[in-house]
């Protein structure tokens, strides 16, 4: 007389109940294509005070996220005592004078090259102009 019993694995039991459990032996699932997101509408950024002294000309800019925790925070720029806060990865309409301040913002980066240390000056913010 055979006293052996067939023991069902948890995966076999789950499949018997209509539940699919994936494991390393399963074929990869194909990604379902999704429609591309429509481009975000640009927001108009105003300062925390009056910016009457500016030209009134605005430009649309998209600030990209950057490395580290600080690279995910909004971009804060001060001009003549007025602070402008631009979120990252969202098109922003800003005064052209603010873009001038952003272009002037640089950071010094030091890199070791053997026994030498090389200093380079790089733009502080990564952005693109949206047309």
Q: How far apart are CA 20 and CA 13, in angstroms?
A: 10
CB 90 within 8 A of CB 40: yes
Q: How far apart are CA 87 and CA 103, in angstroms?
A: 17
Mean pLDDT estimate for the chain: 79
Mean pLDDT of the region 10-36: 60
Residue 107 has pLDDT above 70, yes or no: yes
Closest CA to 44 of 28, 31, 26, 57: 57
Domain ranges of the chain: 43-129
Q: How far apart are CA 102 and CA 104, in angstroms?
A: 5
Q: Where does the pLDDT of residue 68 fall: very low under 50, low under 70, confident under 90, or very high at 90 and above?
A: confident
- For the stretch 38-61, pLDDT in tens is 556 888 887 766 666 678 889 999
């Amino acid at each position: 007389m055979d006293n052996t019993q067939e023991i069902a694995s948890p995966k076999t039991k789950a499949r018997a109940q209509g539940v699919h459990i994936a494991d390393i032996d399963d074929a990869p699932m194909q990604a379902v294509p999704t429609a591309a997101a429509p481009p975000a509408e640009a927001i108009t950024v105003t300062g925390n005070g009056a910016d009457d002294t500016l030209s009134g000309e605005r430009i649309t800019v998209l600030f990209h996220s950057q490395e580290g925790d600080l690279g995910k925070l909004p971009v804060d720029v001060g001009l003549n005592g007025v602070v402008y806060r631009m979120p990252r990865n969202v098109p922003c309409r800003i005064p052209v004078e603010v873009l001038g301040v952003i272009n002037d913002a640089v950071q010094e980066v030091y890199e070791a090259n053997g026994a030498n240390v090389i200093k380079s000056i790089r733009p502080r913010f990564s952005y693109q102009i949206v047309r």
